[in-house]
Amino acid sequence: MIHPTAIIDSTAHLASDVEVGPYAIIGKHVTIGKGTSIGAHAVIGDWTEIGENNQIFHQSSVGAPPQDLKYRGEECWTRIGSGNMIREFATIHRGTVTGHAETVIGNNNMFMAYAHVAHDCRIGNGVVMANVATLAGHVTIEDNVIIGGLVAVHQFTSIGMNAMVGGGTMVSLDILPYSIATSARRRDTKLRGLNLIGLRRRGFSPEAINNLKKAYKSLFMAGLKQPDAIARIKAEITDCPEVDYLVAFIEKSKRGICRG
């Protein structure tokens, strides 16, 4: 299961069936769960926890020190759940003491070739980052988000659950849950509406989708200021968890939300 050319630190703990390919390097205080495979020439940095049944492809780098000039080698972590696929040349950096001191990734995510996750990011479950998609530090990506190729996400930005970000988009404001955001011909990034196909595929009820449409119209098509739009949504749409979550996301946003 472990190739004789692999280098594994004595403090690392690997489940008995973990596969480690040729010339892979596994650093200090690493834990790797059962069913996980580490490809040839992959590097797993210090203070990294990896769950079960992950596929980490050749030449990828997981848990390397952050690209932060303030970092001085403090104990900070990368924590990865189960069922993730990390393709070749993808890079995931550990946290910093000025952030959460950890980068956290959930379950069943896919990071395509050359994707980059910077320090202190938090990624949920079921996320897809296409080729060369890049997250700056302190970014939050909620569940079931799809990020297209060559997307760049500004630090401290959040992307809400079930959102889709089109290829080549520059994200500098928070992206609403359930929405689609794109930028065309280097213009500012804008919301293009709800991610209706994605919502239907994930089994959202027609009633929930209709309520989200109604909320979206109040936010962006009724000529209302944001506080007034939120007040209308709260008054007119009740007993809808999806709309409640949308409103809560807006109210907690620190960078401001991307608009249509």
* Position 90, amino acid: A
Question: Tell me, what's the pLDDT at 189?
Answer: 87
Helices (H), the chain: 196-201, 206-220, 226-236, 241-252
Q: pLDDT band for 26, please (50, 70, 90 cuts).
A: very high
Average pLDDT of the segment spanning 20-25: 98
Task: Please say if the pLDDT value at position 237 is more than 90.
Answer: yes
Q: Give the gyration radius of the chain's Cα atoms.
A: 20
Q: Which residues pair with 147 in a beta bridge?
A: 129, 165
Using the structure block, give the residue that is written with the tokens 């009633």: 207
Residue 185 pLDDT grade (very low, low, confident, very high; cuts 50, 70, 90)? low
Region 219-234 average pLDDT: 96
CA distance 221 to 95: 40
Residue 86 has pLDDT above 70, yes or no: yes
Positions annotated as catalytic residues are 119-120, 137
Residue ranges of domains in the chain, CATH in brackets: 7-141 (2.160.10.10), 198-252 (1.20.1180.10)
pLDDT of residue 58: 98
The single residue listed with the structure tokens 């004789």 is 4
Has residue 61 got a pLDDT over 80?
yes
Side chain identity at 200, as an amino acid letter?
A: R
pLDDT value at residue 180: 97
Residue 36: which residues within 8 A CB-CB, separation 6 or more?
15, 18, 19, 50, 51, 52, 53, 54, 55, 56
Position 183 confidence tier, pLDDT thresholds 50, 70, 90: confident
The confidence band for 102, taking pLDDT boundaries of 50, 70 and 90, is very high
Q: Please give the model's pTM, rounded to 2 decimal places.
A: 0.96
